């Protein structure tokens, strides 16, 4: 992730045929609406990458009292810090700049029941134990809190699954070769999805 960080946002936009932007805007709108009314609450952006989801929540009117971005990649966090804008708002609804933390989704360094909303963009798929990561997210959420997750999943249908895997392998290798001179730079995506859950399985894991 340190290697691909500088072009990661552009890659996800290209890889999803431009749909990534709309998906993130929708998730950010839901997150902003889920925060306590009138400002306040704690928003935790897990696997925050360059911080684009946290920034999108603010653009949608979300004004958390605390915005925490956590990622395991130093380079992703460096880019997130560079792109942060500090105070946002008109003075009455301003919120502090995001607190950026390097950490592991399997061991979130926050107390139990301390977070109002968790956003995750392409994160759970890259953990070694998805049920364990989900349990850790549930631990830090307040009762009635919200978990909003955006990801690519393994398709339920076998025919679509084969086409999907083929596209991921070929497109990932092409972009990796063109942008980084390394075909396997994005090879992890196809591998991670092959071992990942279907949407139906993920819904079941949340229950």
* pLDDT single digits (tens) 144-178: 999 999 998 888 888 877 887 888 777 777 777 76
| Choice between 84 and 113, residue whose per-residue pLDDT is larger | 113
pLDDT at 159: 81
**pLDDT confidence band for 103 (50 / 70 / 90):** very high
Q: What is the average per-residue pLDDT within 83-92?
A: 50
pLDDT the model gives residue 180? 67
pTM: 0.83
DSSP letters along the chain, please?
-TTTGGGHHHHHHHHTTTHHHHHHHHHHHHHHHHSPTTS--EEEEET-TTSHHHHHHHHTT---SEEEEEES-HHHHHHHHHH--S-BSSSSS-BPPPEEEE-BTTB-SS-TT-EEEEEEES-GGGSS-HHHHHHHHHHHEEEEEEEEEE-----SSHHHHHHHHHHHHHHHHHHHHHHHS-GGGGHHHHHHHHTS--HHHHHHHH-
Residue 38's pLDDT band (cuts 50, 70, 90): low
Q: How high is the mean pLDDT of the chain? A: 85
**pLDDT score at 135:** 96
pLDDT confidence tier of residue 2, bands split at 50, 70 and 90? low
């Amino acid at each position: 992730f340190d290697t691909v960080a500088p072009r990661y946002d552009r890659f996800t936009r290209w890889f999803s045929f431009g749909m990534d932007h709309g998906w993130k805007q929708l998730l950010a709108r839901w997150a902003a609406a889920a925060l306590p009314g009138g400002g306040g609450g704690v928003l935790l952006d897990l696997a925050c990458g360059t911080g684009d989801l946290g920034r999108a929540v603010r653009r949608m009117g979300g004004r958390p009292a605390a915005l925490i971005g956590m990622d395991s990649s130093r380079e992703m966090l460096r880019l997130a810090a560079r792109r942060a804008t500090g105070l946002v708002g008109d003075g009455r609804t301003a919120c502090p700049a995001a607190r950026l933390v390097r950490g592991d989704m399997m061991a979130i360094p926050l107390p139990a029941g301390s977070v109002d909303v968790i956003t995750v963009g392409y994160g759970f798929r890259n953990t070694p134990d998805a049920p364990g990561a989900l349990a850790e997210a549930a631990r830090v959420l307040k009762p009635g809190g919200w978990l909003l997750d955006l990801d690519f999943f393994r398709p339920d249908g076998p025919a679509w699954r084969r086409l999907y895997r083929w596209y991921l392998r070929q497109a990932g290798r092409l972009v990796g070769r063109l942008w980084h001179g390394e075909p396997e730079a994005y090879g992890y995506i196809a591998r991670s999805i092959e071992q990942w859950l279907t949407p139906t399985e993920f819904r079941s894991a949340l229950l």
